[in-house]
């Protein structure tokens, strides 16, 4: 049995061990599934402690690139350093090139392998390094989430639409586009996370949105609240895992989203578009989800089938074995 | 003949009339083709000076939203105020929602019409307004640019023109272009990087053979880049994508991304998602070196499209169509 450490960012802190992680829909879930010890921090002075591991995963963020490089330099070659993608695969183009972009490429080039959370983005990361890059993904606690499924027939009286993103904090996620899409069919009620509610309420009212705005939520509260939705909208152009689409899909709710997000593309191929260039198709599909209940169920059932077959822990472990073999050259 | 004004941004300045513009591959070219008076500025105090116009086009960026709203509020309805997209169609998601995002949407609702530079982005802008939204584009001075065409047979040294800059605009994915250039035979790379001293060691360490340059004029650009065998423009920002058209006009194939208007129209066989279709981009890049028929097919297709679809007549037809929509015709 290999010994694995998983290091997650914690600003300006010496890395510190927190033991094992629970199975959650987050990077902590990866640590859980690999039975890894979870560490937090962004710098290391006690390399000896990490020498006990066969593989050290470093969850990448701008604060972690230098740590990745330092670990590779200061640990023996038998300890394999694996950079684990987080954020969007566009990040290299979203951070200042000097110094962050240069450091990111250096981290890619020195680490023993790179794990991506978007299957189709492997080729992009591969441009910058000759080290193995593979898709791994993130585990999903489906057994827990499926308890929140409500049959769609019970949602026909009042139609709630769940919107991903926040207007003020992360406009990059295009929640504004998702919001205005809701105007293109029958009147719906909107569920939106927006911690700065007071700053946007007048805009929402002026534009006649029937919206319930809530603060940031824990996992369980999120599932409780969003399980009432008839559908979700996640027109986020940032290429990443796309946890909103998977969370909502697992509750048996179709999501309209973008092809840049891994889970959306896999779960809802008939509801997946370019968020800026395919708006007429998006509108037509949105309207169809209200008028064609057979289509609605087809989308819903397909996603549930894919979660049960493709988003399993066994598949993730198998992908990890594949990356391990590439890194070890076996 | 309608009287038209075209207003371009000039930070924190009262509107100023500069007369007629030249035909260039820029927004000024739009003013030229519409025979518009070319104005610059970000605020207006003399509204009567603007009342002489039938149409006022405003080159939109976040400094111009309030001006657009003010002009619509203060000018008589007979003067039609038209927002003219600039930047990327992702811009609404790239700047702070408060106040810019809100103002942008308010502007879209206030104007009499809105013109885009990307045909497929019309639907996105239309989400936020019930006013007419149309694709207009930008004129291209092909007769001038074609003088810079060099037959590909004369390009023994393989120069690759790379779009974007590493430091100032990393979001244009210049870094992806650079590393793609390593995936075939040894090439020399040409790109704009005014802060060259900050990236020289990185470029050397990564084995690039390159020539960087500072800002140059359009003529200098055409002169310098005409020697290129091909261009790389995997820019994920959705806009016109002038780099692809400039190079295509010189008979140079360009690999680029599907979000840019010119790239998608001129080089359908060389157009990809810059992050999710990299293996296909690499194959196409390698094919451009190994398959000369393919190279010429891409080159000739683009030149044909420029001659037919980028004609000034087509631009003016689109303008007439928008005008009809605005006037309820």
pLDDT in tens, B173-226: 999 999 999 999 889 999 999 999 999 999 999 999 999 999 999 999 999 999
Identify the CATH assignment for B4-140+311-326 out of 1.10.3470, 3.40.50, 1.10.10, 2.40.50.
3.40.50
Q: Give residue B41's region: left, alpha or beta (phi > 0; psi -120 to 50).
A: left
B144: nearest Cα among B47, B42, B45, B26 = B26
φ, ψ of residue A15 to 5 degrees: the values are: -65, 140
Residue with tokens 């190279």: B295
> Which pLDDT value is given to residue A330?
84
Out of 3.40.50.1260, 3.60.15.10, 3.40.50.2000, 1.10.1030.10, the CATH code matching B142-309 is 3.40.50.2000
| Closest CA of chain A from B56, distance in Å | 26
* Residue B136 pLDDT greater than 80, yes or no: yes
CATH of A4-139+312-328, one of 2.30.30, 3.30.70, 3.40.50, 3.90.1420: 3.40.50
Choose the mutation target among B90, B103, B127 for the interface with A, i.e. most A CBs under 10 Å. Answer: B127
pLDDT for the residue numbered B21: 87
Q: Given this model, what pLDDT does residue B24 score? A: 84
Q: Based on C-alpha coordinates, what's the Rg of chain B? A: 21
B54: its two tokens: 């039938």
Interface contact B92-A176, CB threshold 8 A:
yes
| For range B56-63, the mean pLDDT | 95
Q: How many Cβ pairs within 8 Å bridge chains A and B?
A: 130
Residue A22, pLDDT score: 85
Per CATH, A4-139+312-328 and A142-310 having the same topology is answered yes
- Residue A93 and residue B101: Cβ atoms within 8 Å? no
Confidence of residue B22 (pLDDT cuts 50, 70, 90): confident
The average confidence (pLDDT) of chain B is 96
pLDDT confidence bin for B262, thresholds 50/70/90: very high
3-state helix, strand, coil in chain B (%, to 5): 45, 15, 40
Kindly list the residues from chain B whose CB atom is less than 8 angstroms away from the CB atom of residue A260. Answer: 275-276
The DSSP 8-state label assigned to residue B165 in this structure reads -
ipTM, interface predicted TM-score of the complex: 0.95
pLDDT at position B86 is 84
Alpha-carbon gap, residue A65 to A86, rounded angstroms = 12
State the DSSP code for B118.
S
> What pLDDT, on the 0 to 100 scale, is given for residue A167?
95
Going by C-alpha positions, the residue among A176, A179, A251 that lies closest to residue A219 is: A251
SS (H, E, C) chain A: CCCEEEEECCCCCECEEEECCCCCCCHHHHHHHCCCEEEECCECCCHHHHCCCCEEEEECCHHHHHHHHHHHHHCCCCCEEEEECCCCCCHHHCCCHHHHHHHHHHHHHHCCEEEECCHHHHHHHHCCCCCCEEECCCCCCHHHHHHHCCCHHHHCCCCEEEECCCCCCCHHHCHHHHHHHHHHCCCCEEEEECCCHHHHHHHHHHCCCCEEEECCCCHHHHHHHHCCCCEEEECCCCCCCCHHHHHHHHCCCCEEEECCCHHHHHHCHHHEECCCCCHHHHHHHHHHHHHCHHHHHHHHHHHHHHHHHHCCHHHHHHHHHHHHHHHHCC
Quote the pLDDT of residue B238: 93
Q: Which of A261, A247, A277 is closest to A24 using CA atoms? A: A247
The nearest alpha carbon in chain A to B123 belongs to: A279
Encoding tokens for residue B248? 């295509």
Q: For the residues of B7-65, what is the DSSP string, one character each?
A: EE--TT-B-EE-------SSHHHHHHHTT-EEEE-SB-S-HHHHTT-SEEEEE-STTTH
Question: What secondary structure letter does DSSP report for B101?
Answer: I
- Residue B166 has its nearest CB partner, among A97, A199, A275, at A97
Cα separations (Å) of B42 from A226, B38, B96, B154, B189?
44, 13, 19, 48, 38
d(CA A206, CA A172): 23
Using an 8 Å CB-CB cutoff, list chain A residues near B276: 89, 118, 120-121, 123-124, 239, 259-260
Q: How many CA atoms lie within 13 A of A159 on its CB side?
A: 17
The pLDDT of residue B117: 94
| Burial of A119 (C-beta count, 10 Å sphere; 0-12/13-18/19+) | middle
- Domain ranges within chain B, ordered by starting residue: 4-140+311-326, 142-309
How does residue B248 score in pLDDT terms, banded at 50, 70 and 90?
Answer: very high
Instruction: Tell if the CB–CB gap between A98 and B199 is shorter than 8 Å.
Output: yes
Residue B307 has pLDDT above 90, yes or no: yes
Count the alpha carbons within 13 Å of B50 in the hemisphere toward its beta carbon: 33
For B88, name the nearest residue in chain A, comparing CA atoms only. A276
The tens-digit pLDDT sequence of chain A (330 residues) is 899 999 999 988 999 999 888 888 888 899 999 999 999 999 999 999 999 999 999 999 999 999 999 999 999 999 999 999 988 899 999 999 999 999 999 999 999 999 999 999 999 999 999 999 999 999 999 999 999 999 999 999 999 999 999 999 989 999 999 999 999 998 999 999 999 999 999 999 999 999 999 999 999 999 999 999 999 999 999 999 999 999 999 999 999 999 999 999 999 999 999 999 999 999 999 999 999 999 999 999 999 999 999 999 999 999 999 999 999 998
Third-level CATH fold of A142-310: Rossmann fold (3.40.50)
Can B4-140+311-326 and B142-309 be said to share one CATH topology?
yes
**pTM (2 decimals)?**
0.95
- A205's CB contacts (< 8 A; 6+ apart) are none
Site from B118, B123, B124, B238 to mutate, A interface, most A CB atoms within 10 angstroms: B124
Range 184-223 of A in CB contact (< 8 A) with B: 184, 199-200, 203, 207
């Amino acid at each position: 049995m290999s010994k694995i450490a998983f290091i997650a960012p914690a600003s300006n802190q010496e890395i510190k061990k927190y033991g094992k992680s629970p199975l959650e829909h987050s990077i902590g879930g990866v640590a859980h599934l690999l039975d890894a010890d979870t560490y937090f921090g962004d710098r290391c002075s006690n390399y000896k402690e990490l020498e006990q591991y066969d593989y050290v995963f470093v969850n990448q963020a701008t604060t972690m690139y230098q740590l990745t490089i330092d670990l590779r330099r200061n640990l023996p070659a038998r300890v394999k350093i694996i950079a684990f993608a987080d954020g969007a695969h566009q990040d290299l183009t979203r951070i200042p090139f000097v110094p962050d972009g240069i450091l990111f490429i250096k981290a890619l080039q020195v680490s023993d392998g790179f794990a991506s959370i978007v299957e189709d983005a492997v080729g992009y990361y591969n441009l910058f390094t000759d080290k193995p890059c593979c898709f791994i993904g993130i585990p999903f606690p489906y057994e827990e989430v499926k308890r929140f499924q409500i049959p769609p027939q019970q949602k026909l009286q009042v139609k709630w639409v769940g919107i991903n993103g926040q207007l003020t904090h992360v406009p990059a996620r295009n929640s504004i586009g998702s919001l205005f899409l809701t105007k293109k069919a029958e009147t719906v009620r909107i569920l939106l996370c927006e911690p700065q509610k007071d700053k946007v309420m007048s805009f929402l009212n002026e534009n006649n949105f029937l919206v319930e705005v809530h603060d940031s939520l824990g996992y369980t509260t999120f599932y409780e609240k969003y399980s009432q939705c008839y559908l979700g909208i996640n027109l986020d152009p940032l290429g990443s895992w796309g946890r909103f689409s998977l969370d909502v899909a697992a509750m048996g709710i179709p999501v309209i989203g973008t092809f840049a997000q891994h889970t959306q593309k896999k779960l809802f191929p008939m509801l997946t578009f370019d968020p800026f260039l395919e708006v007429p198709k998006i509108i037509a599909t949105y309207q169809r989800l209200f008028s064609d209940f057979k289509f609605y169920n087809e989308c819903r059932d397909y996603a549930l089938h894919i979660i049960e077959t493709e988003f399993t822990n066994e598949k993730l472990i198998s992908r990890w074995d594949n990356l391990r073999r590439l890194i070890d050259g076996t | 003949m309608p009287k038209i004004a075209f207003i371009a941004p000039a930070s924190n300045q009262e509107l100023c009339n500069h007369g007629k513009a030249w035909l260039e591959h820029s927004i000024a070219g739009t003013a030229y083709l519409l025979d518009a008076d070319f104005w610059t500025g970000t605020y207006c105090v003399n509204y009567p000076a603007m009342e002489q116009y039938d149409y006022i086009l405003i080159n939109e960026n976040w400094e111009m939203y309030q001006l657009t709203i003010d002009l619509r509020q203060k000018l008589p309805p007979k003067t039609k105020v038209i927002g003219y997209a600039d930047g990327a169609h992702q811009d609404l998601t790239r700047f702070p929602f408060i106040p810019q995002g809100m103002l942008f949407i308010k502007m879209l609702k206030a104007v009499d019409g809105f013109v885009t530079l990307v045909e497929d982005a019309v639907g996105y802008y239309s989400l936020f307004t019930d006013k007419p939204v149309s694709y207009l584009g930008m004129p291209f001075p092909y007769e001038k640019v074609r003088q810079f065409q060099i037959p590909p047979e004369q390009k023994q040294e393989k120069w690759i023109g790379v779009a974007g800059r590493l430091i100032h605009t990393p979001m244009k994915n210049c870094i992806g272009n650079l590393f793609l250039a390593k995936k075939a035979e040894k090439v020399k790379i040409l790109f704009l990087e005014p802060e060259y001293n900050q990236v020289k060691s990185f470029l050397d360490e990564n084995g690039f053979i390159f020539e960087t340059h500072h800002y140059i004029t359009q003529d200098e650009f055409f002169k310098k880049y005409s020697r290129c065998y091909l261009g790389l423009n995997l820019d994920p920002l959705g806009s016109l994508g002038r780099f692809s058209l400039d190079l295509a006009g010189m008979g140079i194939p360009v690999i680029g991304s599907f979000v840019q208007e010119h790239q998608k129209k001129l080089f359908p066989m060389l157009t990809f998602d810059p992050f999710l279709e990299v293996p296909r981009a690499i194959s196409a890049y390698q094919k451009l070196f190994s398959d000369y028929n393919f190279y010429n097919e891409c080159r000739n297709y683009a030149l044909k499209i420029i001659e037919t679809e980028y004609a000034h007549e087509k631009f003016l037809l689109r303008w007439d169509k928008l005008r009809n929509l605005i006037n309820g015709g």
